[in-house]
Amino acid sequence: MSREIAIEVKDVQKMYKLYDRNRDRVKEALGLSRKKRYKEHYALNGISLNVHKGETVGIIGTNGSGKSTILKIITGVLNPTAGSVSVKGRISALLELGAGFNMEYNGIENIYLNGTMMGFSEKEIDEKLQDILDFADIGEYVYQPVKTYSSGMFVRLAFAVAINIEPEILIVDEALSVGDVFFQAKCYHKFEEFKEQGKTILFVSHDLSSISKYCDRVVLLNQGNKLGEGSPKEMIDIYKRVLVGQYDPSGDDDTGEAAEGEEASDEQLPADAQAKEPVRATAVEEQKDIGRNPDQLEYGTQAAFIEKVYVTDEKGTITTSILKGSEFTIHMEVSIREDISSPIFAFTFKNIIGVEITGTNTMFEKAFLSPVKAGERMHVTFKQQMDLQGGEYLLSFGVTGYSGDTFEVYHRLYDALNVTVISDKNTVGYYDMNSEIEVAPM
């Protein structure tokens, strides 16, 4: 017996007309031009998907893939150029928080204004008012014009209105990370409540840890096309290939879509590299720069020079996203420009506020204590298991050493590489202790 469908999207297209000059737009609007003066850009190109009642479905993809566009079409903010959308149930959408707020009205007035726009009666809003005020927690400011609010108070109120309407379908677009850390925790707790209550949720986020943790199924979009849908792990694996240019949607991989619950094997993915070795070599060199910070801080004598830094996952794929609990490798490619008695190669993980979390070097590990000669090139690898909590991190690198008793920095790169840790289970602090728990009666 098939489950009830809450959202049905059939062959949806969204085309925008791109004009080189504003006067071409005016001529066409006035009917003064007989020839086409615009280029067609398809933000969505024949997208179809179903979301079943009580299901949490995530949509992922690179910037410009059409994620926000499909949500706006589902919620009625945009009309599709072609195709159809059917929605069964009352929707609350967290798209552009505060859209529809009147800056001259106070908070209370805007609650009623937005509630009415969502289709609720004054009586229904009366019943929800206290819950909204408690969730927003902005005190007496709720009686002041919203134009006087700080940005934090504004998004708190907007989020509180959207989340406390008790919808049958919740649509979220990158809106769970608003306000301070305590308010964010409250938002995620409410999100989990919705999921436990069996609400239908459509969730768009760049936070792959949240996608992995909350979603039953994931849809992967790229440049307006649907590449596939399936389990979070399956789609995140393919998404990582898209990020580093190792996935070709035009390849012979059965339309690029994997059936739900079916693992995508390497054989299903394009392998141009095997057919064209020179092209592959060039592509790999380009992939090594993915995630590199163009504003990294660097200094040193350059007696040794760090040419490339990158990360590979347990399959050897160059990536900036690592699954928590999996094995990964940090790579440094270093050219030696002067004779060095014993270089020390190092890396450090920092969180996004600059706190050093962990790191090591070849001296600590007693892994390489040999002299090197000018002209040599070294490939240094650090292999380990990823036990950091899910989140965003920055990698720094260094090559140092001693000249007699004098410590010398040959080359350092600070905040050179961004790494995202994907996790569906975070514990307290920076690290997971990987505890084995047993509870037994005494």
Mean pLDDT of 399-422: 93
Buried b (16+ CB within 10 A) or exposed e, 305-329: bbeebbbbbeeebbbbbbbbbeebe
Q: How many CB atoms lie within 10 A of CB 49?
A: 19
- pLDDT, residue 287, reads 81
Coil/strand/helix, residue 110: helix
Mean pLDDT of 109-134: 88
- pLDDT, residue 275, reads 38
pLDDT digits (tens, 9 = 90+) for 191-232: 888 888 889 999 888 888 788 888 999 999 999 999 999 999
CB 409 within 8 A of CB 385: no
Among the residue ranges 10-19, 47-56, 248-257, the one predicted with the least confidence is 248-257
Q: Which two tokens stand for residue 36?
A: 């086409």
CB 171 within 8 A of CB 91: yes
Buried b (16+ CB within 10 A) or exposed e, 373-396: eeeeebebebeeebbbbbbebbbb
How far apart (Å, rounded) are the C-alpha atoms in residues 409 and 402?
9
Residue 30 has pLDDT above 90, yes or no: no
How far apart (Å, rounded) are the C-alpha atoms in residues 190 and 244?
35
Coil/strand/helix, residue 290: coil
Share of the chain above pLDDT 90, in %: 47
- pLDDT, residue 249, reads 58
Share of the chain above pLDDT 70, in %: 88
pLDDT digits (tens, 9 = 90+) for 283-330: 678 788 888 888 888 999 999 999 999 999 999 999 999 999 999 999
- pLDDT, residue 274, reads 39
Domains and CATH numbers, the chain: 5-221 (3.40.50.300), 297-422 (2.70.50.60)
- pLDDT, residue 209, reads 79
Mean pLDDT of 75-99: 84
pLDDT digits (tens, 9 = 90+) for 138-197: 999 999 999 999 878 888 888 888 888 778 898 888 766 666 666 777 777 888 888 888
Model pTM score: 0.70
Mean pLDDT of 233-261: 64
Predicted confidence band at 35 (pLDDT cuts at 50, 70, 90)? Answer: confident
How far apart (Å, rounded) are the C-alpha atoms in residues 188 and 210?
10
Predicted confidence band at 404 (pLDDT cuts at 50, 70, 90)? Answer: confident
Buried b (16+ CB within 10 A) or exposed e, 415-433: bbbbbbbbbbeeeeeeebe
